[in-house]
Copies of this chain bind each other. A is one copy, B any other.
């Protein structure tokens, strides 16, 4: 019997025959199985670009050759600022395949933030759509590390600019060889990075290796393809992302689409009527977007009487609300939630109905589609208390979602302390508080900073807010935890009443106790009468959310 660490007989060293997990390998089937499959791009000005997977592969080689000629090599960072285009998809493959890092710049950040991220990422080359030239002109003097700018003219004549351009994307590709000598390398090589912005501090860099991207694609493909019917992806789908490709690698789905050989439609800049026209003309059957986009699409489709059936749409970015879900179902869309964060690959749960599940009612079905979802294949998805013990999977006990999976971010770029906090105890901490049902369905109830820990129970501030808001006479409510010598914390409710309605603390308390009696609320969640206070207004953040930090500080005096 032998020791594990030293026995070459049972632990093999990766050899010449090993097969590292590289982004290039997501392409291997493309040429043998689907060489004639289509990729299309709907530019805002130049009409439709349409080419085959075979041509796509050639252009990836040309892109790498062109970037190599501009000085990019293994280890370089290449930044992209573009709308959703075939060019972006080419960069998703070509930049990592040459061993460089694709930095997907969030073009919605402020110029100061973009400046910070371009410098922090050590970007050497920036590929920039004509629309974002003015932004770069503004910060260009503060980008000492950027050696080259490449224009994406998008079919238009090159605009006047003070930026020193190294060339135009299409012209550079046309002059470059498709036969770039892509080689194998360590699968832990960084393939892509981007920045996540919190409420405080500088944006934090998140990166993914080739191995992360490939394993995310395989587990996501397995999970999305495996349902018998409904909430699924299959080989005959036509895919169109409606999540910007700078956002968490558009959730990794473009890699899944190419792996499966799907016709892929890149819609350019998002214009609802154009998106719907593209969906119809290209036969799109699978997409993903944020709730706001879905809302706009439904409204536009309603105005023009368009049929949206045979369209499966994953909703991410923020929670899918029941009313929006119902409207989408009415329009014929098979809509369902996905869950993840910039740090998690990102997809770690999908709100697919459980195998064989027959929801008891339309409300139950909507609740399942709007829930956080069920864990993706191989994702070790735990709901734990403060001692990292699993809470019961009974749909009632709350805990923090902590994760292990083969594709989670290992660290924030250059921020060891934040990285350590992210991975306390060997699991990635999402800071989301949730419950899990017996069938693995997860529902987020709060953020950890807002949950109230009282008498050994975790109380969702959002849940109490929702119930208080239902009390007649209440216009708005915010609940936070306040320190309590006996219970650790206790909930405190700030209530704005409706003018002309009689509502008082005792009345609110009684309504909450009714919910306790009905087994719909923990008794620990009911604030004492003196912790239900009436205020003229609730403080809000710049994006309209309740500013709980401000509420907490106001209590400190």
Given the interface pairs A11-B186, A188-B13, the reply to whether A355 lies near B235 with Cβ below 8 Å is yes
A218 near B: Cβ within 8 Å?
A: yes
Whether A33 contacts B74 by the Cβ 8 Å rule is: no
Given the interface pairs A10-B189, A124-B1, the reply to whether A410 lies near B228 with Cβ below 8 Å is no
A382 (CB) vs chain B CBs: closest residue? B32
Whether B259 contacts A29 by the Cβ 8 Å rule is: no
In the assembled complex, the Cα of A143 lies from the Cα of B72 at a distance in Å of: 60
Given the interface pairs A17-B426, A75-B3, A235-B228, the reply to whether A33 lies near B439 with Cβ below 8 Å is yes
Whether A228 contacts B236 by the Cβ 8 Å rule is: yes
Question: Which residues from chain B contact A73 at a C-beta distance below 8 Å?
Answer: 1
Whether B17 contacts A410 by the Cβ 8 Å rule is: yes
Question: Which residues from chain B contact A410 at a C-beta distance below 8 Å?
Answer: 12, 15, 17-18
In the assembled complex, the Cα of A515 lies from the Cα of B267 at a distance in Å of: 51
Binding site of A, secondary structure by majority: helix, strand, loop or mixed?
loop
A16 near B: Cβ within 8 Å?
A: yes
Encode contact with B along A60-95: 1 for CB under 8 Å, 0 otherwise.
000000000001111110000000000000000000
Whether B428 contacts A378 by the Cβ 8 Å rule is: no
Give residues of chain A (331-360) contacting chain B, Cβ–Cβ below 8 Å: 354-356
In the assembled complex, the Cα of A259 lies from the Cα of B75 at a distance in Å of: 36
Give residues of chain A (395-428) contacting chain B, Cβ–Cβ below 8 Å: 404-408, 410-411, 423, 426, 428
A123 near B: Cβ within 8 Å?
A: no
Encode contact with B along A148-185: 1 for CB under 8 Å, 0 otherwise.
00000000000000000000000000000000000001
Given the interface pairs A4-B74, A235-B228, the reply to whether A28 lies near B188 with Cβ below 8 Å is no
Given the interface pairs A35-B438, A406-B19, A440-B33, the reply to whether A378 lies near B236 with Cβ below 8 Å is no
In the assembled complex, the Cα of A355 lies from the Cα of B29 at a distance in Å of: 13
Question: Which residues from chain B contact A75 at a C-beta distance below 8 Å?
Answer: 1-4, 7, 9-10
CB distance from A93 to the nearest CB of B (A): 14
Whether B259 contacts A21 by the Cβ 8 Å rule is: no
Whether B1 contacts A375 by the Cβ 8 Å rule is: no
For the complex formed by this chain, how many copies does it contain in all? Answer: 2
A225 near B: Cβ within 8 Å?
A: yes
Whether B235 contacts A29 by the Cβ 8 Å rule is: no
In the assembled complex, the Cα of A35 lies from the Cα of B188 at a distance in Å of: 34
In the assembled complex, the Cα of A393 lies from the Cα of B426 at a distance in Å of: 49
CB distance from A416 to the nearest CB of B (A): 12
Whether A29 contacts B378 by the Cβ 8 Å rule is: yes
Question: Which residues from chain B contact A209 at a C-beta distance below 8 Å?
Answer: 12
Whether A32 contacts B74 by the Cβ 8 Å rule is: no
Q: Of residues A2, A19, A215, A380, which shows the largest number of chain B Cβ atoms within 10 Å of its Cβ?
A: A19
A240 near B: Cβ within 8 Å?
A: no
CB distance from A411 to the nearest CB of B (A): 8
Partner of A219, one of B218, B405, B407, B408: B218
CB distance from A221 to the nearest CB of B (A): 4
Encode contact with B along A280-323: 1 for CB under 8 Å, 0 otherwise.
00000000000000000000000000000000000000000000
In the assembled complex, the Cα of A19 lies from the Cα of B379 at a distance in Å of: 10
A428 (CB) vs chain B CBs: closest residue? B17
Extra inter-chain contacts (8) besides given A222-B225, A226-B234, CB under 8 Å: A4-B186, A15-B411, A28-B379, A33-B375, A34-B440, A35-B438, A227-B234, A228-B236
Please name 12 pairs of A and B residues whose Cβ atoms are closer than 8 Å in the assembled complex, sorted by A: A1-B124, A2-B74, A4-B189, A10-B189, A17-B408, A28-B379, A28-B380, A29-B378, A33-B354, A215-B218, A222-B225, A226-B234
